[in-house]
Amino acid sequence: MKEVTTASFEQDVLNADKPVLVDFWAAWCGPCRAVSPILEQIDGETEKLDVVKVNVDQEPDLAMRYNITSIPAMKLFQGGQVVKELIGARPKPAIEQELAAFL
Amino acid sequence: MHDLIIIGSGPAGFTAAIYAARANLKPIVLASSVEMGGDLMTTTDVENFPGFPEGIQGPDLMFAMQQQAERFGADVRMQDVTELELDGEVKRVHVGDEVLEARAVIFATGSAYRKLGIDGEERLSGHGVSWCATCDGFFFKQKQLIVVGGGDSAMEEANFLTKFADKVTIVHRSESFRASQVMLDRSKLNEKIEFLMNTVVESIEGDAQVKAVTLRDTVSGSTWQMPVDGVFVAIGSDPRTHLVHDKLMLTAEGTIAVDGRTSRTSVQGVFAAGDVIDPTYRQAVTAAASGTVAALDAEHYLTAHAVPVLVTSPEEAAL
């Protein structure tokens, strides 16, 4: 999964051709570590969307811009807009169900 | 066909796995896809688990337990149980489309955080309402927070949150605390922590983010609004029995009923351990001990109900 920074966010997420699921995470967040391999799998299994991650410790500006107050937070961007939001670690089928329209 | 399937991966599940694996039962541990390790995965310093004089981080303790179980042959799978068939000699455990069969099952699913059940809680969950200080405290630098609850977990959350927040108010519905004295003292000594006793949260206000809470004094009955940026809920937990509530006998407290000091449930070959059977203590150490009991009970059951090995063929026996 690609690591996105404040500098690359516009290009990698806002101006991307396809929908991008952004995983806001941190190393000290246990549930983030649990959900990360699931997102990795989803990223590898579909061509229809990209999954990237933002480390909130290193990119506090991005976390603040998108009002992150709870992680893991997964936001789906399409055409530069947030079109879907998932908060908290969930099993793979539950995440896939939420993203069904985009997979 | 497996001998033993353990459902759950907190201290109870992994300790049961260590014992069962050492007894050569080759247990399968269904650890859940996102909650592997249980409640301790969102705990920072664990200071009361014997053997760690300097304390140990919750996730480190759980990964160590997992490794210890795997070292003796436990098969730990990050999968979620979706359905259980527990009647009869062969137990069937559904993991999505896959069905695993075993002669015995240990159920150690722990407990789930209790919700306040008030207006605004669900809607603002993840937008200022949180159940995990270690996950979300970081986002409340220089903010005003409340922690709801009066037990050890409320004290721990409050103390942890003062690393980030300017002020943390512990809102507690009564005058007495369930928290241990050491945890309570630590909170009382913390200059950033204030207490609001005999007070309950009536509702949580805010459109996109938490802005305030409406509080009610349980003695005078008066209500007022307090501006806050975040609400951390630590009012305890309920045993997680949704997979078995119509299959195993439960107690009045909602925990799985077990026979005396054993782990035997109302269904033969099904054992239960940890917070899911414990309405009282609910510590990592008591859960681990309970896991031990379940593994020994399961081992005893499997030996007593050993599949008979045919030494002579049926034809020979008929002669």
The SS3 of residue B188 is helix
Count CA atoms within 13 Å of residue B27 on its CB side: 37
Letter string b/e over residues B221-247, b meaning 16 or more CB atoms within 10 A of that residue's CB: eeeeebebbbbbbbbebbbbbebbeeb
Q: Which residues of A touch B125 (CB under 8 A)?
A: 70, 87
Which of B45, B80, B119, B132 is labelled catalytic?
Answer: B132
Longest dimension (CA), chain B: 89
Interface mutation vs chain A, best among B139, B161, B231, most A CBs within 10 Å: B139
Contact yes or no for A98/A84 (Cβ under 8 A): yes
Task: Calculate how close chain A gets to B93, using CA atoms only, in Å.
Answer: 17
Alpha helices in A1-103 (DSSP H): 9, 30-45, 60-65, 92-98
Query: How does pLDDT run along chain B (319 residues), one tens digit per residue?
Result: 999 999 999 999 999 999 999 999 999 999 998 889 998 988 888 889 999 999 998 989 999 999 999 999 999 999 999 999 999 999 999 999 999 999 999 999 999 999 999 999 999 998 999 998 988 999 999 999 999 999 999 999 999 999 999 999 999 999 999 999 999 999 999 999 999 999 999 999 999 999 999 999 999 999 999 999 999 999 989 999 999 999 999 999 999 999 999 999 999 999 999 999 999 999 999 999 999 999 999 999 999 997 765 555 666 555 5
Q: Is A84 on the interface with B (CB under 8 A)?
A: no
Query: What is the C-alpha separation between B209 and B140, in angstroms, rounded?
Result: 12
Block residue for tokens 């940026």: B229
User: Residue B72: its pLDDT value, please?
Assistant: 97
Q: Which residues of A touch B78 (CB under 8 A)?
A: 37
User: Residue B313: its pLDDT value, please?
Assistant: 60
Structure tokens given for B14: 């992994």
User: Residue A33: its pLDDT value, please?
Assistant: 87
Active site residue A101: no
What pTM was computed for the model?
0.83
With CA atoms as reference, report the closest residue to B160 among B175, B140, B177: B140
Interacting residues of B152 by C-beta distance below 8 A, sequence separation 6+: B178, B179, B180, B183
Q: Is A79 on the interface with B (CB under 8 A)?
A: no
Q: Which residues of A touch B138 (CB under 8 A)?
A: 26, 28, 56-57
With CA atoms as reference, report the closest residue to B305 among B18, B89, B78, B154: B89
Query: What is the C-alpha separation between B279 and B256, in angstroms, rounded?
Result: 10
DSSP-derived letter for residue B310 is: P
Active site residue A29: yes
Residues on chain B bordering chain A, Cβ-to-Cβ distance under 8 angstroms: 32-37, 41-42, 58-59, 78, 80, 96, 125-128, 130, 132, 134-136, 138-140, 208-209, 230
User: Residue B314: its pLDDT value, please?
Assistant: 60
User: Residue B134: its pLDDT value, please?
Assistant: 86
Q: Do B138 and A26 touch (CB under 8 A)?
A: yes
Cα dist. B54→B46, B50, B161, B171, B185 in Å?
9, 10, 21, 30, 19
Q: Do A32 and B33 touch (CB under 8 A)?
A: no
Interface mutation vs chain A, best among B30, B32, B34, most A CBs within 10 Å: B34
User: Residue B312: its pLDDT value, please?
Assistant: 58
Of B37, B80, B126, the CB nearest to A91: B80
User: Residue B42: its pLDDT value, please?
Assistant: 83
Active site residue B39: no
Q: Which residues of B touch A71 (CB under 8 A)?
A: 135-136, 139
Interacting residues of B267 by C-beta distance below 8 A, sequence separation 6+: B86, B87, B247, B248
Task: Calculate how close chain B gets to A69, using CA atoms only, in Å.
Answer: 5
Low-confidence residues of chain A: pLDDT under 70: none
Q: Is A31 on the interface with B (CB under 8 A)?
A: yes
Q: Is A5 on the interface with B (CB under 8 A)?
A: no
* HEC profile of B239-279: ECCCCCCCCCCECCCCCECCCCCCCECCCCCEEECHHHHCC
- For A28-42, what is each residue's pLDDT tens digit? 888 898 899 999 999
